[in-house]
Structure 1
Amino acid sequence: MQHTTREVRLAAALVEAADTLTDGFDTAHYLQRLCDHCVELLPARAAGVMLIDGGRAVSLAGSSRRQDVALDLLAAQHDGGPCPDSYGSGRPVPPVSIRAAHEEARWPRFTERALAHDIATTFAVPLRRRETLLGALNVFVPAGAGPDDAGLRLAQTLADAAALGLHNQRAYAQYRTLAGQLQEALTSRVRVEQAKGMLAERWQVPADEAFVALRRFARRRRLPVDRVARDVLAGTPDTRELRGPSGESA
């Protein structure tokens, strides 16, 4: 079976969209690459992504090609445009004639900027992972390169892949954070046990009594018990002061 260049490039774009489980993940670069793929695969002058949270735009990204155009057109949608409409409905905004929309006073600020940039048509698709909406992908098409239904579906495919990639990356980041917290808690517990054992042996007292002294010293100095345990293992504090007056630890 022979594959067209466009199909091969689309496949490569989808693989790239899935590659998000890395510690050095850069959301801005990832979204820019999504926009770049749209420009490469569609008859588009530029493309942009608007991430939306709580009904307001929280991040904008544009294609490398004509990035200034993409960012300007995304910023012009503060009072309405394809991205907010697509996000609000959760559905694609089919290709819209910029001139017709401008004459109808639909998205006036956006259409004015689009005409200034020589954009003839635009459409948008939601970035959606099942019921979770993350934002919208907006494609800007020049005159003489009208988009078709296949182009709209292709953009939605890329947006769906990107939404899945972002969802997986966020889950991965949360997992890494939780794993780090659990590891630190375990390490802290081990340090405290080691310090408690060291003091119990030095003072020839039960381990529980040594821990009471450790905790009391930490409270007196307003320090975490783990911080005091670190110092004990490093030999920093005066163990006589740590044990308390007359060797009392209760």
Structure 2
Amino acid sequence: MIALLDVTAIGVVMVDAQGRLVDVTASTHTAHQLEEAQVEFDEGPCRDCCLQGEQVGPVGLTLPAAAERWPRFTQTARAAGFATVAAVPLRLRDEVIGAVNIFHSDPVGIHPASLRLAQALADAATIGILHQRISQNQAERVSQLQTALNSRITIEQAKGVVGALLHVTPDAAFGYLRAHARSNQTSLTKVCQLVVEGQLSVETFAVPQDRKRHL
């Protein structure tokens, strides 16, 4: 990507679930340090880009305006040998998920065509990232639903086992199971699983709970 954009270095920051900037990746160790500096200093082109949701720069780091806008970041970036910086958002419509920082050692090194290409690449990357997040969220929901369904099936099976062996109604069987789980400080699903697998004797539930407390 560096060769494609004809720049010195690039870095990427993302917005986490709490709305904080997180350094994700960079093409060089120096660029990585500058991304971390922006997060630490709470100033810099990527920060502004994420907040505004639009392109920042190019900004000449040798100009007084840069030092006024980002005093600590500008000093750090100049010490690292960079003279120009810009940032393009990782954005889909109104949703901004991060920004791409572009660095160049030449004061006039970032060409407008490079920024247009950087934004096009950032747009494509954003779509891919958001689609991946949607897929992950859907997979998590399916997994949660499947777990809940499996738990419900296990509970119903255990109610059937207890009801059949103790000759009680399903509601009464459920009461036995729930009381046992509470008294032993374990989950209802775990108790039911043990009953279904034959690892917990149903005879345990044959003694009324009030009598158990006095035994």
- Structure 1 length as normaliser, TM-score? 0.74
Shift of the 55–236 alpha-carbon distance from structure 1 to 2, 3 Å rule, reads closer
**Match for 1:182 among 145, 149, 152?**
145
**Match for 2:90 among 111, 118, 127?**
127
Percent identity between matched residues is: 40
Would the aligned equivalents of 1:79 and 1:107 in 2 still touch at CA under 8 Å?
no
**Equivalent residue for 1:76?**
37
Question: What are the within-5 Å matches in structure 2 for residues 1-250 of structure 1?
Answer: 37=1, 39-53=2-16, 56-63=20-27, 66=28, 68-77=29-38, 78-101=41-64, 105-143=68-106, 146-245=109-208
Count of matched residue positions in the alignment of Structure 1 and Structure 2: 207
Structure 1 CA distance, aligned partners of 2:66 and 2:130?
39
Give me the CA root mean square deviation.
Answer: 2.4
**Equivalent residue for 1:25?**
none
Shift of the 138–101 alpha-carbon distance from structure 1 to 2, 3 Å rule, reads farther
Q: Post-superposition shift, 1:102?
A: 6.7
Would the aligned equivalents of 2:155 and 2:189 in 1 still touch at CA under 8 Å?
yes
Structure 2 CA distance, aligned partners of 1:223 and 1:211?
15
Structure 1 CA distance, aligned partners of 2:66 and 2:159?
78
Gaps of 5+ in 1: 1-36
SS at match of 2:186: coil
Q: Post-superposition shift, 1:104?
A: 5.2
Counterpart amino acid of 1:179? V
**Equivalent residue for 1:8?**
none
Structure 1 CA distance, aligned partners of 2:66 and 2:184?
72
Shift of the 105–212 alpha-carbon distance from structure 1 to 2, 3 Å rule, reads closer
Would the aligned equivalents of 2:86 and 2:103 in 1 still touch at CA under 8 Å?
yes
Gaps of 5+ in 2: none
Counterpart amino acid of 1:110? F
- Structure 2 length as normaliser, TM-score? 0.85
Q: 102-111 or 160-169, which moves further after superposition?
A: 102-111
Q: Which runs of 4+ in 1 moved over 4 A?
A: 101-104
Q: Post-superposition shift, 1:103?
A: 7.2
State the Cα deviation string for residues 96-118 of structure 1 (Å, max 9, x = none): 22212577533222222222222
